[in-house]
Structure 1
Amino acid sequence: MNPVLDFWSSFSLIFLVTAIPVAIMIVLEKRSPYKTAAWILLLVLLPVFGVVFYLFFGQEYRKRKLYSRKGIKSLGQYRKLSVRQLRQFEQAFSNLDKKILEKENIIRLLLNNSDALLTTGNKLKILVNADQTFKAVFSAIKNARHHIHLEYYIFADDKIGNQLKDLLIEKSLEGVEVRVIIDDVGSWGLSDKFIREMKNSGIRVQPFMEVRFPRLTSRVNFRNHRKIIVVDGITGFTGGLNIADRYFEGVKGIGPWYDIHLQVEGDAATCLQVVFTADWYFVMRENLTGRNYFPPLKESKGVPVQISASGPDSDWESIGQAIFAAIANAKKRVYLTTPYLMPPMQIVSALKTASLSNVDVRIIIPEKSDARIPKWCSFSYVEELLEAGIKVYFFQNGFIHSKYVIVDDVFSTVGTTNLDFRSIETNFEVNAFIYDEDFTAKLVRIFKKDIQNSREIKLKEWSQRRWHFKLKESLAHTVSPML
């Protein structure tokens, strides 16, 4: 017997039995050609591994829905209000500044694709890094009178995690309702003892989409990346920081962790509450209703904000669509910061088109990353962006994890969404979309300060990088739609 022929016979059989049926499934899902080609290439090169990887990380659930939103009372109530805003747009927002109304297409888009109410009675505060963020968070929690709601991707059993746990226990023993949702993968290291201490004090803790057999393959890929705190329905927080010491201490070999968070006072906090209560219904099948959780909307003067949530439970990639629309309609500038730059091709095209239309487009990404393959994926987009005249900066002072986009003078978005395939197409995310000149100016000042701690990459320099550097980029770029 010829061992070479035996090998190829076995390989062909495996390919026919495993890879071809899965490849047909992928084609029938009608994904973007880019993603379809990436998955089929993986199946051809590594048929057995490719099939397993697809079952765990590749199945498309957006059209099938991971869970139904029927029965969530808070969503139904606010959906009616969003429909009313769409129908009566001119009357409802006649007092808005003309510059804000120039972004009417984004406001309408978010009302349509995620029922994101435009609220006006808001005060916002940008919180830079862990010191400012957790000082504000602990202060709000200490002042809680009725309830505290937390939803986090990472809740670590470390110094800051235990400090927060102890404070939540203290408030629970005072009679304050405390509910906590943790992502089952992101908070994998949270001990049973840690959770038991919270539960024994009356805190209700629930994991989001537990990863257990036999449901492993249908759930492991869809993670709750949201970071939400709502206190008494009127104070809210969202942004890039999870609950872990690394946000204070930095990352070994990389340096300090740089991030921003957002504190919201007013009606937008109530909208964050809607997102939390929908997720709470999903994990507990319990509706939270009433004025204690949802104070009446004031619709008073303040910063206009829309809170949009996206994920595989919704019909549209709402946050990605809004970012694309904002960039595509930019007139003056597009500034963005993201720790992982792996955007879908439509956003890449929008960025390049804006730059070629004489819009000032600038991007800050970390030079050193906490994840090796995403770092090389990010680098793989740099050359085509530079060729379009986009200015790209590598952050030098540690690891920048901020996630925000600034367009022109009155629009910005801050939240949990990275500019990558996973955040835009797969994960459960939440962003605040803000329409305000003063807030935008503050964010621009932060961006320009971050540029001072970065080095600009020039096309000539980048094109002369070593061949093995380019090879790593190319290999990473191939798998970027699957990350």
Structure 2
Amino acid sequence: MDEYLVALLVIGIILNGIAAVSIVFLERKSPTSALAWLIVLVFLPLAGFILYLIFGQNIHRERMFRIKERDDLFLSKVIAGQQEELRSEELRIPGDYGGRFRGLAMMLLQSTLSFFTMDNRVEIFTTGEEKFAALFREIEAARDHIHLEYYILRNDGLGRKLTDLLTEKCGQGLEVRLLLDGLGSGGLPRHFFDRYLAAGGKLAYFFPSIAPLINPRMNYRNHRKIVVIDGNTGFVGGFNVGEEYLGKNPRLGAWRDTHVMIRGSAAMALQLRFILDWSYASKEYLGSGPRYFPGSTGEQGALLQIVSGGPDARWSLIEDAYLKIIASAREKIYIQSPYFVPDESVLDSLRIASRSGVDVRVMIPRKRDHPFVHWASYSFLGDLLDSGVKAYIYEGGFIHAKSIVVDGLVSSVGSANWDIRSFRLNFETNAFIYDREISGRLEKIFFGDLEHCTLVTPGLYAARSVRVKIKESVSRLFSPLL
């Protein structure tokens, strides 16, 4: 028995040594993340190595995403044209947006290959009942194709209702494609899609599991929530497909999220994102013809850019967009996120904005679905209080919205949380909206949520219990791994 334990210890030390060499010399981890992983390896021999394999290693990222990067290159010709229009000011950005936000639009166009669209109508949903009623209505009205991309689809009443409706549309002769994440939707039974597939529906998984109920890869998940119908109507935001998103989870209670439905050219940008992801996961390339990209209506509407980020990109694209939009603020910044685990650049930008006289407010939920992330979020909020940032804890259920509104002029809604995982490890998509009316509606929603919030004052934060302080300290230490 003693010999067995010694052998196990030696194996653990060797494996931890291999992981440590990989972290320090082979991977481009931030110093903070690298240090956190080294601490785990030192104090948890063998177990630390297993955790590293599941949550940490990324040495195969370049090989994994080489095909994806190649497929994305076909965008470059179209993007180059819009870049020249922005530089030459042939693309007129009306009012305040031309002077203040041209740089943001240019950065997103150049760095994230994000079309600038000017003909959009946008509807905002804050409850699951509203969002799914609209989604089912649009699916029922579809005439040619339906494309869906979700992180989570549950085997429950809502998941089955959606799948049954998609099966019905397949029977009507429509093309229906469903792209799911292999981890988020990995627990579905084998027979779940039998009727859908038999009717002609197509299904693909992003990084599928190697065995039922087992998926060793926690990083590089497809966290996007995208639906495109007939190339002219799109959905993007925070809602997955499951009854908890209707507020039916007894532990989390009422579910408060933000999602948008877009009619216009931005729907084609969502279509492009779906096609690229579908091509990578299914090896079926759909092309860029008029069937999937019907063209602009030519009508003036809301200005939008669809921005996608992920570990296949050179930069932290959505985080860069958040930093740019924060830097543009003159009066107010309102942020909502279920997880607030930012890096120093985001913390510093919010501190600088607040100290410059900008009204900065950040809202996170009281209820928690990931305790470590919750307590880490609370600690980061505490770091902002001395610079004048107002921190709020939402008490009206679980707030899952991922949004920012700046000066009532520019806003963003999508799947990206304000945390390191969304910024660097997961695939995310947000809509950046340059529109006073839509941003004003999002601002009004924020103030409606304030009625269900507790303000975290410096005194209240300082009076937290020793137990809470310990939870914060431990969660904060390992936050780079979350």
TM-score normalised by the chain length of structure 1 = 0.94
Match of 2:408 in 1: 409
Give the whole-Å Cα distance in 2 for the aligned partners of 1:327 and 1:98: 16
**Mean CA deviation greater in 99-108 or 115-124:** 99-108
- Residues 1:239 and 2:240 aligned together: no
Q: Is the 8 A contact 2:186 2:209 kept in 1?
A: no
Q: Is the 8 A contact 2:9 2:45 kept in 1?
A: no
Give the whole-Å Cα distance in 1 for the aligned partners of 2:184 and 2:334: 29
- Residues 1:426 and 2:439 aligned together: no
Match of 2:441 in 1: 442
Please state whether the residue corresponding to 1:148 is helix, strand or coil. Answer: strand
Shift of 1:370: 1.6
Please state whether the residue corresponding to 1:69 is helix, strand or coil. Answer: helix
Identity of aligned residues (%): 36
Match of 1:313 in 2: 312
Where do residues 177-188 of structure 1 align in structure 2 (5 Å cutoff)? 177-188=175-186
Amino acid aligned to 2:268: T
Shift of 1:94: 2.5
Shift of 1:78: 3.4
Shift of 1:382: 2.1
Structure 2 residue corresponding to 1:166, chosen from 164, 167, 171: 164
1:377-402, CA deviations, whole angstroms, 9 ceiling, x for partnerless residues? 11121211112211000001110111
Match of 1:343 in 2: 342
Shift of 1:15: 6.2
TM-score normalised by the chain length of structure 2 = 0.94
Structure 2 residue corresponding to 1:79, chosen from 76, 82, 92: 76
Give the whole-Å Cα distance in 1 for the aligned partners of 2:277 and 2:218: 17
Residue ranges of structure 1 left out of the alignment (5+ in a row): none
Q: Is the 8 A contact 2:183 2:215 kept in 1?
A: no
Give the whole-Å Cα distance in 1 for the aligned partners of 2:146 and 2:457: 48
Give the whole-Å Cα distance in 2 for the aligned partners of 1:284 and 1:255: 36
1:328-383, CA deviations, whole angstroms, 9 ceiling, x for partnerless residues? 33221111000011112211111111111111100110011122221111112121
Q: Is the 8 A contact 2:252 2:368 kept in 1?
A: yes
Shift of 1:442: 0.6
Q: Is the 8 A contact 1:310 1:430 kept in 2?
A: yes
Shift of 1:144: 0.4
Give the whole-Å Cα distance in 1 for the aligned partners of 2:406 and 2:249: 31
- Residues 1:116 and 2:114 aligned together: yes
Shift of 1:9: 7.8
Please state whether the residue corresponding to 1:241 is helix, strand or coil. Answer: coil
Match of 2:461 in 1: 462
Give the whole-Å Cα distance in 2 for the aligned partners of 1:142 and 1:51: 49
Give the whole-Å Cα distance in 1 for the aligned partners of 2:134 and 2:295: 24
Match of 1:19 in 2: 16
Change (3 A) 1:178 1:217: closer
Shift of 1:210: 0.8
Aligned residues: 476
Please state whether the residue corresponding to 1:122 is helix, strand or coil. Answer: strand
Where do residues 247-286 of structure 1 align in structure 2 (5 Å cutoff)? 247-286=245-284
Change (3 A) 1:285 1:472: same
Shift of 1:169: 1.0
Change (3 A) 1:192 1:65: closer
Q: Is the 8 A contact 1:150 1:229 kept in 2?
A: yes
Change (3 A) 1:56 1:387: same
Change (3 A) 1:13 1:77: closer
Residue ranges of structure 2 left out of the alignment (5+ in a row): none
Shift of 1:102: 0.4
Give the whole-Å Cα distance in 1 for the aligned partners of 2:164 and 2:350: 45
Amino acid aligned to 2:320: Q
Change (3 A) 1:56 1:106: same
Where do residues 206-225 of structure 1 align in structure 2 (5 Å cutoff)? 206-212=204-210, 219-225=217-223
Where do residues 27-46 of structure 1 align in structure 2 (5 Å cutoff)? 27-28=24-25, 29-46=27-44
Match of 2:199 in 1: 201
Change (3 A) 1:208 1:403: same
Change (3 A) 1:65 1:34: same
Shift of 1:95: 4.6
Match of 1:360 in 2: 359
Where do residues 370-389 of structure 1 align in structure 2 (5 Å cutoff)? 370-389=369-388
Structure 2 residue corresponding to 1:288, chosen from 280, 286, 289: 286
Please state whether the residue corresponding to 1:92 is helix, strand or coil. Answer: coil
Change (3 A) 1:44 1:278: same
Match of 1:192 in 2: 190
Q: Is the 8 A contact 2:208 2:215 kept in 1?
A: no
Shift of 1:63: 4.7
Shift of 1:7: 12
Shift of 1:24: 2.3
Amino acid aligned to 1:150: L
Match of 1:144 in 2: 142
Give the whole-Å Cα distance in 1 for the aligned partners of 2:361 and 2:210: 43
Root-mean-square deviation (CA, aligned residues, Å) is: 2.2
Give the whole-Å Cα distance in 1 for the aligned partners of 2:267 and 2:41: 45
